[in-house]
Amino acid sequence: MAKKWRVAVLGLGHWYSGYGLARALPEYPKAELVAVADLNAAHANEFGQTFGVDAYTSYEALLERKDIDIVHIAPPVCDIPQCVIGAAQAGKHMIMGKPMAMNIAEADAMVEAVERSGVVCVCFQHAGVMRSAGLKRRIDAGEIGDVVVMHSTGRWSIAEDWYHSGRGGWFTDPQCVPGGSFIDEGIYGIEQLLYLAGSDIVRIEGRTANYVHKELEVEDYGFATYTFANGIMATQEASWTINSPRKTGPSPKANSVRRTEIIGTGGEMIDDGLRMPGMGVLASGAEGWAFERPGGEFGGPTPPGLVATIIDCLEQDKAPTMSIREARKAFGVALAFYEAARTGTAVAPF
């Protein structure tokens, strides 16, 4: 019989990803959810009772279980490093939450621990890049000539720290996060831009502000300009300025603006995550824009997300498309952005 992989959720800071995984796994034949751990006993017990799994109030206690193969790491950012290093030392394959750490020293220690352990680590922020694989193939095929400029836009609301809590909580606490909207939402865009450019960022300029949430100790708006080693220029906007019908919660997330524009020497592509049709291509030599509506399979089971990616790597004995080193690279760009915004000068990635 094929192995049934046993999965646990380690931390419920990013509670919505944990709940999403728990809802998906009953319809996925290769894995089952067996446990959850969170430092908040009420949250751990609520999750455990909802899905009929063991609940722990200690990360270490869950990691001591020998029968757990994969952990979905989703606590507040300040707890992610200890969970990742602990999981690696315990030999657990993992989905790593985002952003990965509070500082570069923690991020480097996490990379070392994961690589030394040999476990499979797929980072939550990789999901954005994986969804861009088709776009990357079209760019590499020369559909719009050579890429010269890119624009990444991501305007969202602040996530709730628990379902219907009505507050950002740890998401906006400088003791729990390394920054605000730019690194929370923008880490996906940084990684996507690096992937699509096929080159490293060498120069970063940035500005931050608080336009809607003036009471926060972290920014609700960030704007960056990047220069890549291959000459591509890019801009990135990442914010929490979406606040209708209210300032926080699941509903405003549905009203987010997600847009990637790629300008080439022979044409352009616009990938829009909100409007339909969602893809517009002005191909090299074309008479005009062609509009497409990319869509998935409707009416089927909820996808198990990155757990399926890890299991595929394990069963096929192959490495993930993206490694923890790509997450570390994007994290270094984000922290350098904050330094550029703070000093008003251009800086290189950390």
Any residues with CB less than 8 A from the CB of 153 and at least 6 apart, and which? 236, 237, 257, 258, 259, 260, 261
Separation of alpha carbons 188 and 195, rounded Å? 11
Fold of the domain built from segment(s) 5-127+303-322 = Rossmann fold (3.40.50)
Looking at residue 38, what is its pLDDT? 98
- 41 within 8 A of 57, measured Cβ to Cβ: yes
Looking at residue 298, what is its pLDDT? 44
Fold of the domain built from segment(s) 130-297+331-343 = Dihydrodipicolinate Reductase; domain 2 (3.30.360)
The alpha carbon torsion through 18, 23, 26, 30 (nearest 10 deg) reads: -40
| Burial (Cβ within 10 Å: 0-12, 13-18, ≥19) of residue 346 | middle
Looking at residue 248, what is its pLDDT? 82
Looking at residue 305, what is its pLDDT? 79
Diameter over CA atoms, the chain: 62
Residue of 183, 223, 195, 33 whose CA lies nearest to 130:
195
Separation of alpha carbons 71 and 226, rounded Å? 34
- 340 within 8 A of 219, measured Cβ to Cβ: no
Task: Say how many C-beta atoms besides its own lie within 10 A of residue 42's C-beta.
Answer: 10
Q: Tell me if 5-127+303-322 shares its fold with 130-297+331-343.
A: no
Token digits of residue 198: 């096929």
Looking at residue 297, what is its pLDDT? 45
| Burial (Cβ within 10 Å: 0-12, 13-18, ≥19) of residue 130 | middle
Q: Between β-strands 70-73 and 93-96, what pairing exists: parallel, antiparallel or unpaired?
A: parallel
63, 87, 91, 100, 310 from 66: Cα distances, Å = 8, 12, 9, 25, 18
Domain spans in the chain, listed from the N-terminal domain onward? 5-127+303-322, 130-297+331-343
Token digits of residue 232: 């591509």
In sequence order, which ranges of the chain are alpha helices (DSSP H)? 15-24, 41-51, 59-63, 80-89, 104-117, 126-130, 133-140, 181-197, 250-254, 306-316, 324-343
Looking at residue 301, what is its pLDDT? 55
In tens digits, what is the pLDDT along the chain, a chain of 350 residues? 678 999 999 999 999 999 999 999 998 999 999 999 999 999 999 999 999 999 999 999 999 999 999 999 999 999 999 999 999 999 999 999 999 999 999 999 999 999 999 999 999 999 888 889 999 999 999 999 999 999 999 999 999 999 889 899 999 999 999 999 999 999 999 999 999 999 999 999 999 999 999 999 999 999 999 999 999 999 999 999 998 888 887 777 778 889 999 999 999 999 987 776 778 888 888 888 888 876 544 445 566 879 999 999 999 999 998 999 999 999 999 999 999 999 999 999 99
